[in-house]
Amino acid sequence: MKEIMIDRTYKKQQAGFVSLFTVIFFTLLITVITVSFLGVVITEQQQSLNNDLTASALNAAESGIEDAKRVILAYFNMPNGTTKTTLFSALTSSQCNALSSDPTAQSLGVSNNGSVTGQANLNQYYTCLTVNLFSPNYTANSSAGKSVFIPLVGQSNYNQLVVSWHLVSNTVGKDGDGRPGKYVSSPTVLPQVTGNGSSWSANGYPAYLRVELYGYPTGNFARSDISDRTRSLFLVPSVVGANTAIKLDAADPLPHQFDTDKSALQPIQCSATPATVAVGTYACTAAISLPGAASFNTANNSYFLRVTPLYGPTHFSVALRDGNSGNSVNFNGVQPIIDVTGKAGDVYRRVQARVVLGNIANLPEYAAESAGDICKNMVISDGKYFQPNNCP
């Protein structure tokens, strides 16, 4: 009988190799997991630090905006003189350190090095602060039926207004009004509200715009002078309409007479294809010519504009223009633009803000307004006796 010999040493070597391979594999696996975990932790820490620095830089920029507001208000409230002239130069300069180096601005809290906290170890500053008193346009947004009142104070004379509305954006909100879904095919097509609650704006139509010009001449004036300078237009977002400037003399020729039509609609030809309108632009724009008589010249009159969206909210822009030359005219001190860059560590945030001057923001919409019914008690006579008309 042949005896079979088994090499026990070989089997032990084989078992040892498997164990060594297993240990190496799990060691590598644990190493990979540990390194990945540390990478995630480091990334999260860096992201958290970046978020903190970004918020800190934004706060520094907002602090610069508040400092600039104080300087602007002080400028418009101080008497004429050398100090005001010097501050005006700082407020209209494009140099980053012009305002922070002005003594009057420093006395109002503007730091000479832009430090927000006054503690260098916190490393929180605004590095560039500029103010532009002469804005190229006036921008705002308003809900349906809520008016915005704009002083029409130009850097030079103007005779036209350029009104644009429905700011195109990908979403509806603070950044814009979304993409226009459609326009009005005829100025006689009026908004409709159906029983299920769908509305004009919900169906994609841009808002109508009621634009009212009013003003008064320099020096003494009477009520009729104000009436002569008060004109109204209803701008309709349409696929038709003239591209030339609308003349207020023709659109509202006798504004102070009760027997004239006050509801004539002005169709404005908006962008041809709503779906392709560029984001960040306005879908509809209308040019409006002021009354042409010499007595209505802007050099001798103070004008205001009341803009009221109808049937839906909208973002809009108003610009001044010299219709004779076609040149734009800047607003003067109506909506100054503040541009500031905040810094925290190695992170920067730049913010641009517009501030509105003047106390004409919350004027009433109507001569009489009530949350309930308004009842007028009347007395009627037939020649023999008086009979009160009692309210229900």
Q: Is residue 115 part of a domain?
A: yes
Q: How far is CA 293 from CA 249, 271, 290, 318, in A?
A: 9, 33, 9, 23
Q: Are 158 and 272 contained in the same domain?
A: yes
Q: Is residue 390 part of a domain?
A: no
Q: How far is CA 118 from CA 110, 130, 193, in A?
A: 11, 20, 58
Summary count for the chain: helices (H), strands (E): 5, 18
pLDDT means per 10 residues in the chain (392 residues)?
Answer: 53 60 78 82 76 86 90 90 90 88 87 73 81 93 91 93 93 86 73 57 83 91 88 87 81 68 76 79 92 88 93 93 91 92 88 81 70 64 55 55
Tokens standing for 339?
């541009």
Q: Are 298 and 184 contained in the same domain?
A: yes
H or E stretch covering 150:
strand 148-151
Q: Is residue 7 part of a domain?
A: no
Contact yes or no for 120/317 (Cβ under 8 A) = no
Q: Are 150 and 202 contained in the same domain?
A: yes
Residue where one domain finishes, among candidates 316, 331, 346: 331
For the four alpha carbons of 337, 341, 342 and 347, in that order, the dihedral sign comes to positive
Distance, in Å, from the CA atom of 171 to the CA atom of 146, rounded to the nearest integer, reads 22
Q: Are 122 and 179 contained in the same domain?
A: no
Q: Are 110 and 60 contained in the same domain?
A: yes
Q: How far is CA 176 from CA 54, 89, 100, 285, 349, in A?
A: 25, 34, 34, 16, 22
End-to-end CA distance of the chain: 129
Tens-place pLDDT, residues 2-55: 555 555 555 555 556 667 777 787 788 888 888 888 878 877 777 777 788 888
For the four alpha carbons of 254, 156, 166 and 353, in that order, the dihedral sign comes to negative
Q: Is residue 391 part of a domain?
A: no
Q: Are 285 and 206 contained in the same domain?
A: yes
Provide long-range contacts, Cβ within 8 A and 24+ apart, for 368-373.
none
Residue type, 232: S
Q: Are 198 and 94 contained in the same domain?
A: no
Distance, in Å, from the CA atom of 181 to the CA atom of 203, rounded to the nearest integer, reads 7
How large is the angle between the packed helices 8-77 and 82-91, nearest 10 degrees? 150
Distance, in Å, from the CA atom of 180 to the CA atom of 311, rounded to the nearest integer, reads 14
Q: Are 220 and 300 contained in the same domain?
A: yes
Distance, in Å, from the CA atom of 87 to the CA atom of 102, rounded to the nearest integer, reads 7
Q: Are 295 and 344 contained in the same domain?
A: no
Distance, in Å, from the CA atom of 389 to the CA atom of 378, rounded to the nearest integer, reads 5
Per-residue pLDDT, 250: 84
Q: Is residue 384 part of a domain?
A: no
Per-residue pLDDT, 134: 93
Q: Are 144 and 188 contained in the same domain?
A: yes
Per-residue pLDDT, 197: 47
Residue type, 85: T
Q: Are 278 and 261 contained in the same domain?
A: yes
Task: Look at strands 347-354 and 337-344 and give their pairing.
Answer: antiparallel
Other beta carbons within 10 angstroms of residue 98's beta carbon come to 17
Q: Are 193 and 317 contained in the same domain?
A: yes
Give the range of the structural domain holding residue 85, as residue numbers without chain letter. Answer: 21-133+336-362
Q: How far is CA 272 from CA 184, 311, 378, 379, in A?
A: 12, 22, 54, 57
Supply the DSSP symbol for 184: B
Residue where one domain finishes, among candidates 313, 331, 349: 331
Distance, in Å, from the CA atom of 96 to the CA atom of 76, rounded to the nearest integer, reads 21
Q: Is residue 198 part of a domain?
A: yes
Q: Structural domain tally of the chain? A: 2
Q: How does 123-141 read in b/e, with b if 16+ C-beta sit within 10 Å?
A: bbbbbbbbbbbbbebbbeb
Per-residue pLDDT, 276: 76
H or E stretch covering 82:
helix 82-91
Q: How far is CA 203 from CA 121, 182, 206, in A?
A: 55, 8, 9
